[in-house]
């Protein structure tokens, strides 16, 4: 029997789907007070030593995330960690990845995040801010707008988020150029170019979406030169990490009129301090890193865990398994 650790809220969702595995799993839950207990009896567990862990937003964003993470890595028996997130660059995930024999991720967030990108593009193309200002002022003034159809998108980083966004854009008649190191056409793109070609592609793009992982090579890739190469009426969006963007350069570029607008779901410092100028810049739409925070993402992550759980006990390959070398 394997000790499996989850947050209490997560367990409440997935418990009905664990039927038939009672003889294989000893479920341990952590509540919002940071207390661990056996799900079957309510008995308090003072030193959990989990072999399987399902790490979800219930734990990641809860008041005792550190307590949860320490239980994950300090037990010394961790065989498999299933993350509800797609990325692995967070230092906590690196620590867990080194401790676990198997680390799997979840890609359902990309669906919600790609809808965020479409929402921002449509709002910009359709003059959302100006229409809302006119409504507040009682002004009836028709505005000429743009469409996704015929627009040219440059998506820097063509993993699950980029591909998911590209599929939606193409379905609406947009043209998509994806940027990734490995070449060859992939779903959701009309063409693929190498990262070295980004600067040459920027002047032709109506929308530029950045969604690459944060690495030493990608830190600050969106800088003054990057923005200067964009169209004056282009939209810049960041769905990756805040460190990908030189924020002072972005604000200066917007003030200079190139690009036309920016939509950011991430920032270099999170939570963003109230006195940060990103909050009040008239050409920036800012959301608090909640693009993946949807009902569908939660259900999709649960689905991935349940499927992988059956694969685990059946000795089958796990979905979205990360190579151990990624945590070296």
* Catalytically active residues, by annotation: 241, 289
Q: Which helix (H) or strand (E) holds 176?
A: strand 175-179
Cα–Cα distance, 234 to 227 (Å, whole number): 10
Give the three-state DSSP class for 192. Answer: strand
Cα–Cα distance, 114 to 169 (Å, whole number): 9
Cα–Cα distance, 210 to 219 (Å, whole number): 12
Cα–Cα distance, 232 to 245 (Å, whole number): 18
Q: Is 162 in contact with 188 (CB distance < 8 Å)?
A: yes
Beta strands 191-193; 2-7: pairing state: unpaired
Cα–Cα distance, 10 to 31 (Å, whole number): 10
312 phi/psi in degrees, rounded to 5: -60, -50
Q: Is 177 in contact with 155 (CB distance < 8 Å)?
A: yes
| Structure token digits, residue 161 | 């988020």
Q: Could you please report the per-residue DSSP string of 58-114?
A: HHHTSTTHHHHHHHHHHSS---EEEESSS---SHHHHHHHHH-SEEE---THHHHHH
């Amino acid at each position: 029997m394997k000790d499996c650790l989850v947050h209490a809220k997560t367990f409440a969702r997935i418990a009905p789907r664990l039927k038939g595995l009672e003889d294989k799993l000893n479920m341990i839950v952590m509540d919002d007070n940071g207390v661990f207990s056996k799900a079957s009896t309510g008995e308090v567990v003072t030193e959990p030593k989990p072999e399987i862990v399902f790490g979800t937003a219930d734990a990641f964003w809860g008041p005792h995330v550190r307590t949860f993470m320490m239980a994950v890595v300090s037990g010394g028996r961790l065989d498999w960690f299933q993350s509800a997130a797609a990325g692995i660059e967070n230092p906590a995930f690196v620590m867990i990845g080194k401790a676990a024999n198997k680390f799997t991720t979840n890609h359902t967030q990309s669906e919600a995040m790609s809808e965020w990108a479409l929402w921002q593009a449509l709002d910009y193309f359709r003059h959302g801010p100006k229409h809302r200002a006119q409504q507040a002022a009682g002004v009836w003034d028709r505005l000429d707008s743009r469409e996704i159809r015929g627009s040219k998108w440059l998506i820097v980083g063509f993993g699950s988020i980029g591909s998911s966004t590209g599929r939606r854009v193409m379905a609406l008649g947009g043209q998509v150029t994806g940027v990734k190191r490995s070449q060859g056409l992939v779903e959701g793109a009309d063409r693929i170019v190498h990262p070295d070609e980004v600067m040459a592609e920027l002047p032709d793009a109506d929308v530029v979406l950045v969604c690459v992982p944060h690495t030493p090579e990608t830190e600050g890739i969106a800088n003054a030169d990057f923005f200067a190469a964009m169209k004056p009426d282009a939209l810049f969006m960041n769905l990756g990490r805040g460190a990908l963007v030189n924020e002072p350069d972005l604000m200066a570029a917007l003030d200079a009129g190139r690009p036309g607008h920016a939509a950011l779901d991430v920032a270099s410092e999170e939570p963003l301090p109230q006195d940060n100028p990103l909050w009040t810049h008239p050409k920036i739409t800012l959301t608090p890193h909640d693009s993946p925070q949807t009902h569908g993402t939660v259900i999709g992550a649960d689905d991935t865990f349940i499927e992988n759980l059956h694969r685990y006990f059946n000795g089958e390959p796990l979905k979205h398994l990360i190579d151990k070398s990624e945590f070296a």
